[in-house]
Structure 1
Amino acid sequence: MKLKDRDKIHLWHPLTQHKLHPETIAITKAKGCVLYDEDGNAYIDAIASWYTCMYGHCNEYITSRVVEQMQTLDQVVFSGFTHEPAIKLSEALIKILPENQNKMFFSDNGSTSVEIGIKMALQYHFNKSEKRTVLMAFEDGFHGDTFGAMSVSGLSVYNGPFEDFFLEVKRIPTPNGSNHNDILNTLESIVKTHKVAGFVYEPLVQGAAGMKMHDAEGLNDVLKFCKAYNIITVADEVMTGFGKTGKHFASLYLETKPDIICLSKALTGGLLPMALTTCSQEIYDAFYSDDMSKGLFHGHTYSANPLACTAALASIELLQTQDIQNNIMRIMRSHNIFGERIKTHPKVKSTRQLGIIFALDLNVEMERYGNLRDKLFKFFMEHGVFLRPLGSTIYIQAPYVITEKQLEKVYQVIEDVLEII
């Protein structure tokens, strides 16, 4: 029996309606930018398996370091204990984070990193004997699937059944370069009538919204407003972090730095699950007390797993190499050339790019999960490229090690699919 048939017996996949999509593709091997299935087919992984494997699958530099670490220390509880991989990771990461970041709290995935950021923002005010219960977030944002993260997300396709249970959140438009004053007026109105604890946002690129990009100057104005009203700013860099926007972090494009940053996905180069919520010294100090109850009572069994920390440290080392930085610049140039080439196609409504993130919107109406989207996905896979359209948006976020030949195949299959729409 094939793997894909055995899969059907017990497994329940994420973001899947199994009655409509009974088939899965069984991947047996991955290397570099290529996935291989049980039938011997090869696929260029043009989205780095949800933006994680940015240095390529089974990267030997990362895997060798983890193999060495697992001979010494595999796992130990991080409450009351520490270990060198976590310490070395903190020392390396602090050097590339925005300069106001100083403390790091471990968890295990992007949603929980945001959940912790939200809890930090709410408890910060609670610990200072100021009750603030409202959060702000951008329209169409996505921050994960746990309840706090869902609360600040704006995509009801994911959250519909749970909305009655959410935290109170006020949503604001994303800045587009011409709506700064309208947004600031909206913010003024919100703070007059609500006790706002924090603002949770994806800096510059909203991933699940279809790689929707917004204006840096406008975002900076929002962050400055939040600072003036002591609203804790929580940057969800789970998707944008570690080089994808052309800088190590999207927040580095902004003058006003966030109080809290949420990290995961490419943190470990896609090898092992792990997340971090980093914060400024000021945030940490609000929890530092003789009163035990003022501590942050949040913990995960595998927090700061030594193997995941080792993978993350190796990934950060790779990110800073000249080879990877050159590759990032090369991909950015290639995307720019492709964008110029395709933007006038009658089936293309618009294109956009930031760093190695490239997206185009199709000039057709289609559901986020519907027959046309499925048709596009099937076409891409049949032609050896793994792309996962977000409704009418096709985007590329390939590993930094992708070759020019592989990139050109990705571009070509996108151009080819336009002819069947």
Structure 2
Amino acid sequence: MTCIDALWLPYTQMATAPAPLPVVGAQGVRIRLADGRELIDGISSWWTMCHGYRHPHIVAAVKAQLDTLPHVMFAGLVHEPALKLARRLVKLLPGTLERVFFSESGSVAVEVALKIAVQYWRNRGEDRHAFVAFKDGYHGDTLGALSVTDPGCGFHAAMSAYRVPQFFAALPRDAATRAALDDLLEKHRLDIAAVIVEPRVQGAGGMRFHDLATLRAIRAACDEHGVLLIHDEIMTGFGRTGQMFASPADAPPDILCLSKALTGGTLPLAATVASDHVFAAFCSARAEDALMHGPTFMANPLACAAANASLDLFETEPRLEQVAAIEAQMKRELAPCRALPGVSDVRVMGAIGVVQLEHPVAAALRPAFIERGVWVRPFGDIVYLTPPFVIEPADLSTLATAVCEVVAEWSKQVHRLPCPISTP
């Protein structure tokens, strides 16, 4: 198998990057390579594969749907898998999030949320077109989503000229940053359509955590100044933080974005879910008040079937208990990294474990993980694990041991010190 012919790979300098690894199969928590090697997947295929690869319940649901209705356009037509999924999501989500708009990817879910926010105000007779986002936040690669992504994350500096209007603020973790957010919203409240935040974890911006008090402060500021609040749960939704959703019931958003683990990682699907009061602004006798957006593969029946099967598994298998066990084990087994020179932090939330380095060198460590039979893809200044929820303790120990060993070797080489760590 030739790995690079005809392909343009993501986040890759094709002129210099090594060839990607050919994959021929996957099962459970393991990826099988063409040369016969197997890698334990430590990042759940970009945080999607919460139930592991090829879970039989999801496979059976997709096969059954394929025999009935693989796809049909979702304009003027509707089908039971989408209706069932939307109703189930509405029951699970906090607040009055009652209308589900389906798309195919997380970035598009964010684009739809931004469009909804702008048009919400237009339909009410106001011209608000700016957004408030937070430093170290990441919301996607399409033009609108990158506009509310912190340029400091390193993804989109080349596209800065194409950004929609935005303001970046520090997360309101204390009195000073809360006052700064209040001042920003007060000064520009007539221009700001919405605030957007990743609840509890800023994912691709560095796996940075914040607490529920921070989210409550953002909700209170939005209420005080009369702006909408968008929660981007593309990464955090469906158990990753230890709760089914990271958005707190006492501080819900007006609009919420979902993707990644929505189908258990099986098929592309995303959802933008709006509260009843937001949806009401689009319902009138005027045709121009309608939301003019319609992805071709919106609410694909195969993807909806996979998502319904994934929700079945959350109901019938102990996923959140498994996440709690993963959290406890990673706290124990990643803790030795704290003693290493060059490590500035070790933190764990739910099924997310992070070793923070003092310098952005993590990508250079990737080959060392493959040598140890694990698929871990560090970036920036973090080495992190986001394993499938079904991982066995022994496999999780293999992942944690690999992290400790690789970081310890790096620390010893960089600081030329005896390594003080014994891996678990």
Secondary structure at 2:68's aligned position in 1? Answer: coil
**Are residues 1:20 and 2:9 paired?**
no
Change (3 A) 1:139 1:228: same
> In the aligned structure 1, how far is the partner of 2:245 from the partner of 2:363?
33
Secondary structure at 1:256's aligned position in 2? Answer: coil
Secondary structure at 1:43's aligned position in 2? Answer: strand
CA contact (8 A) 2:3 2:19 kept: no
Secondary structure at 1:304's aligned position in 2? Answer: coil
Match of 1:145 among 141, 149, 156: 141
Map of 1:234-249 to 2, 5 A cutoff?
Answer: 234-249=230-245
Structure 1 unaligned residues grouped into runs of 5+: 367-371
Please, what is the CA RMSD of the aligned residues? 1.4
Secondary structure at 1:307's aligned position in 2? Answer: helix
**Are residues 1:124 and 2:89 paired?**
no
Report sequence identity in percent. 36
**Are residues 1:44 and 2:33 paired?**
no
Secondary structure at 2:247's aligned position in 1? Answer: helix
**Are residues 1:171 and 2:168 paired?**
yes
What amino acid maps onto 1:383 in structure 2? Answer: R
Match of 1:71 among 46, 67, 72: 67
Residue equivalent to 2:264: 269
> In the aligned structure 1, how far is the partner of 2:392 from the partner of 2:80?
35
Match of 2:303 among 303, 308, 312: 308
Change (3 A) 1:321 1:346: farther
Secondary structure at 2:186's aligned position in 1? Answer: helix
Residue equivalent to 1:369: none
TM-score (norm 1): 0.94
Secondary structure at 1:308's aligned position in 2? Answer: helix
Match of 1:353 among 326, 330, 348: 348
Match of 2:155 among 153, 158, 164: 158
Aligned length: 408
**Are residues 1:408 and 2:397 paired?**
yes
Query: What is the CA distance between 1:62 and its match in structure 2?
Result: 0.2
Alignment deviations for residues 40-69 of structure 1 (CA, whole Å, 9 cap, x no partner): 111111100000111001111101111011
Query: Comparing 119-128 with 340-349, which one deviates more in the overlay?
Result: 340-349
Alignment deviations for residues 385-411 of structure 1 (CA, whole Å, 9 cap, x no partner): 111112121111100110001000001
TM-score (norm 2): 0.93
Match of 1:375 among 331, 344, 364: 364
Match of 1:101 among 97, 102, 107: 97
Alignment deviations for residues 292-345 of structure 1 (CA, whole Å, 9 cap, x no partner): 110000011100001000000011111223432321221121122224443233
> In the aligned structure 2, how far is the partner of 1:151 from the partner of 1:114?
11
> In the aligned structure 2, how far is the partner of 1:310 from the partner of 1:180?
46
Match of 2:381 among 366, 386, 392: 392
What amino acid maps onto 1:51 in structure 2? Answer: W
Map of 1:291-306 to 2, 5 A cutoff?
Answer: 291-306=286-301
What amino acid maps onto 1:167 in structure 2? Answer: V
**Are residues 1:417 and 2:411 paired?**
no
CA contact (8 A) 1:209 1:390 kept: no
Secondary structure at 1:93's aligned position in 2? Answer: helix
What amino acid maps onto 2:343 in structure 1? Answer: V
Query: What is the CA distance between 1:228 and its match in structure 2?
Result: 2.0
Match of 1:365 among 352, 359, 362: 359
Structure 2 unaligned residues grouped into runs of 5+: 411-424
Residue equivalent to 2:413: none
